[in-house]
Amino acid sequence: MTTLSEAVSARRTFAIIAHPDAGKTTLTEKLLLLGGAIQMAGAVKARGEQRRARSDWMKVERERGISVASSVMTYEYDGHIFNLLDTPGHEDFSEDTYRTLTAVDSAIMVIDCAKGIESQTRKLFEVCRLRDMPIITFINKMDRDSRDPFELLDEIEQTLALDVTPASWPIGSGRNFKGCYDLLKDQLVLVNRTKGERPDITHRCDGLNDPKLDELLGEADANQLRGEVEMVRGLCPPFDQESYLEGHLTPVFFGSALNSFGVRELIDGVATMAPSPLPQPSNNRDVKPEESKVTGFVFKIQANMDPKHRDRIAFVRLCSGQF
């Protein structure tokens, strides 16, 4: 039987923040798909009935293809329970996002590889910074035309005053995007373009000098990868758990949410790096999650979730105890 402390340590409660159209809702769906919470992700750019996102339930969201109200979704993956809060990216609905960010322990920041840091991303990041919230960065849409990865890392560092440490490194971009090198596990993850199969193929490597890299990538791309990774490891600090938890450093993953590439590595990163539920401040003291007494706070009240009923639902962040 699982104890309360074991149940707490297995949970990850996080939000996804991004500028509109950076791919936040698509990433949300692919995470739910990976966790088995849904069977098919709705293509945001598709037509008709397919153009529906699991996290976009309001009529205006389905019509405009954007998130207006934050949604709360729970799924299990690899022995962990994830509480994912999908938040609106559009500035008109940012108040809902600000409230939601008080209920999470960490965040994923999604960045469009062609656009870099955008205005709403910067605003939401500053809200996270006020709470010293740990952030994992996902640079999305690598299968499209992209800015130079080093330029993107430099922009994150300079614009957000945040140390960066790549957890993966892209091999090409756009039509030439072949995949990523997993810097944490020293393995090559290549794009699988065969329809109906997994979007990635993993090849375990014995470091960057493994001749397998030349066989799989070709000598030119393999040598370019070696040079870039050597530069990354020379310029960027190694991952430091304490620095990440304090909100000073962000691990950076590259991928394509639309094609489900890099999503598995990203959620593995959340499982291993992101904190389990933290003590929550109250008027008198911090409430620890292991306490038996049930405490919580309401971070959102939503009316008319079901158009057939005049309902009103309160979303509560449980701080301690269990139901």
Only one residue has tokens 């999503």, namely 263
Check: CB of residue 190 under 8 Å from CB of residue 179: yes
pLDDT confidence of residue 52? 47
Only one residue has tokens 């919230």, namely 133
In this structure, what token pair is assigned to residue 313? 């639902």
Cα dihedral across residues 146, 98, 28, 179: positive or negative: positive
Contacts of 149 (CB under 8 A, 6+ apart): 139, 166, 169, 170, 228, 254
Out of 3.20.20.70, 3.40.50.300, 1.10.10.60, 3.20.20.10, the CATH code matching 4-278 is 3.40.50.300
**pTM of the complete model:** 0.87
In this structure, what token pair is assigned to residue 23? 């791919």
Region of residue 78 (left: phi > 0; alpha: psi -120 to 50; beta: else): left
Q: Which H helix or E strand runs over 319?
A: strand 312-320
Mean pLDDT by 10 residues, the chain (323 residues): 79 93 91 82 45 46 43 88 78 68 94 96 92 97 97 98 98 95 95 82 92 95 97 96 97 96 96 91 85 88 73 85 77
pLDDT confidence of residue 138? 99
Residue type, 1: M
DSSP 288: P
For the chain, what is the radius of gyration of the CA atoms? Answer: 20
List, by residue range, all CATH 3.40.50.300 domains of the chain: 4-278
Q: Which H helix or E strand runs over 7?
A: helix 4-9
Rounded CA separation 152/161 (Å): 13
pLDDT confidence of residue 90? 54
pLDDT confidence of residue 197? 74
